[in-house]
Structure 1
Amino acid sequence: MARRKGRHGKARRQRERRRRVLLGAGGVAVGLFVLAREPWLLLGISGTGVAATVAWFLWRTHRHARTRDRAWREGERRAELERSMTAIDAMSWQDFERYVAELCRRDGCTGVRVVGGSGDLAADILGAMPDGRRLVVQVKHYAPHRTVPSGDMQKFVGMAVNEHCADVALFVATCEYTRHARELALKHHIVALNRDLFGSWNSGARLESLLPLSGTGSGH
């Protein structure tokens, strides 16, 4: 019985395959017959294919052009930023403090004043954020190849919290931070702007948009 059922099942599958082949062949034949009677359909189909090919080519060309344009604009932005940072590097540390104070004012901070100097208690600039939070800023105008050591960050952490009661403690440097300095900033919620982040601020990014990067000291 099992063999008979197996033979019957195999025969049914073969009949089904033949039926599908015949249906497919019939469909092709009908299509050819219609195209032979109505050649304009063939032209329409061909025209649609050509139009689709042209549209795809134009889209692809436009996409490549936009990609090249974005790359060019990004290159120009970076070049302008480098030129700007070169001017920043040429400033004296006093001019840099005043310049950072101007950036704070540009972004809506109020009561901004430069207090750096002897006995500044690790604060170079004091003021208030646009929403009224107390802002305390430490500025380090170091050469690009230098790094801010953990000792500088540790001093600022203690003074910003204990002496100045800062709501927003901002450390601005024209160089990078050491790993330990970054870890201290992260632990104590210091907004540590390294050279790259300061460059973004300098080129138009709002100070408040940089606050979520508190403690990272980089764009990562």
Structure 2
Amino acid sequence: MVVAVLLIVDFVRRHPYWSAVLVLVAVAGVVVLLSARAKQRARQRAEQAERDRVVAVTDTMTGAEFEQWFGRLLEASGFRHVHVRGGSGDRGADVTALAPDGRRVVVQCKRQSLTNRVGSAAIQRFAGTCREVHGGELCAIVTNGLFTAGDGVRLARQLGIVLIDRGALETWAWAGTPPPRMLGR
């Protein structure tokens, strides 16, 4: 290593102009490489954002992938401090965030097959943890499927839990604008 440094110093002393040219070429190469990498990342983000606009992509996802997808949707819609927490021990808070108006958002994500529906039991479990355990000011259950009609939907309405089904989620993903009830309207 010391020998290499001495050889470089000697070359720079004997050939200062060539040394400057080599440094400029090296710097230009690094700039071109970093620029190409940045463009590639931007292109990948744009492609991911385009794929995320179609709710049908969620049909083949795992639950964890659906949570990540929804986290990206929140971020793209102006929500801040989005944290995907899903997994065992999450106590019903798969995603947390701050709404554009600053309220704490707690979301339970339910990725379902098109034939399964989110029922009353899931809504009741979430109702028991959203505000008391997680401090949610805006609580929501999001599914790529549908909710069963009946007591669970009435309970959610009564407790102020926002239910976002496939139709609302599809509109949100395509337009990039959350449903008014996700903004507290």
Calculate the TM-score normalised by the size of structure 2: 0.66
2:101 counterpart of 1:131: yes
Q: CA deviation at 1:211?
A: 3.0
Q: In 2, distance between residues paired with 1:111 and 1:204? A: 21
Q: Which residue of 1 aligns with 2:62?
A: 92
SS in 2 for 1:94: helix
Distance 2:141 2:96 in 1: 12
* Alpha-carbon shift at residue 86 of structure 1 (Å): 2.8
Q: Which residue of 2 aligns with 1:200?
A: 171
Given candidates 140, 150, 165, the residue that maps to 2:120 is 150
The aligned runs of 1:42-121 (5 Å cut-off) are: 84-121=54-91
Unaligned runs of 5+ in 2: 1-52
Conservation of the 8 A alpha-carbon contact between 2:168 and 2:179? no
Distance in 1, matches of 2:88 and 2:134, equals 16
Q: CA deviation at 1:208?
A: 5.3
Q: Is the 8 A contact 1:148 1:181 kept in 2?
A: no
CA–CA separation in structure 1 for the residues paired with 2:181 and 2:169: 9
- Counterpart code for 1:101: G
Instruction: Give the counterpart letter for 1:211 in structure 2.
Output: M
CA separation of 1:172 and 1:209: change in aligned 2, threshold 3 A? same
Preserved contact between residue 71 and residue 82 of structure 2 (Cα < 8 Å): yes
Match in the other structure for 1:185: 156
Instruction: Kindly name which structure, 1 or 2, has the bigger radius of gyration based on alpha carbons.
Output: 1
Can you give the 5+ residue segments of structure 1 that lack an aligned partner in the other structure? 1-82, 215-220
Which structure has more relative contact order (CA 8 Å, sep 6+)? It is 2
Instruction: Indicate if the aligned counterparts of 1:109 and 1:128 stay in contact, CA closer than 8 A.
Output: yes
Point out the structure with the larger helix share: 1
Task: Count how many residue pairs are aligned between Structure 1 and Structure 2.
Answer: 132
Q: Distance in 1 between matches of 2:182 and 2:96?
A: 17
Structure 1 SS opposite 2:131: helix
Give per-residue Cα distances to partners, 1:167-207, cap 9 Å, x unaligned.
Answer: 11011011111222211111111110011111111111512
Partners of 2:118 and 2:58 in 1: CA distance: 17
Pair 1:122-2:88 in alignment: no
User: Which whole-Å CA distance do the structure 2 matches of 1:197 and 1:187 have between them?
Assistant: 20
Q: Partners of 1:213 and 1:192 in 2: how far apart?
A: 13
Q: Deviations over 1:38-87 (max 9, x none)?
A: xxxxxxxxxxxxxxxxxxxxxxxxxxxxxxxxxxxxxxxxxxxxx93332
Give the direction of change, closer, same or farther, for the CA distance of 1:159–1:97 in structure 2 (3 Å limit): same
In the aligned structure 2, how far is the partner of 1:187 from the partner of 1:166? 16
- The share of aligned pairs that are identical, in percent, is 30
CA contact (8 A) 1:97 1:139 kept: yes
**AA aligned opposite 1:201:** W
TM-score, normalised to structure 1's length?
A: 0.56
RMSD, aligned CA: 1.9
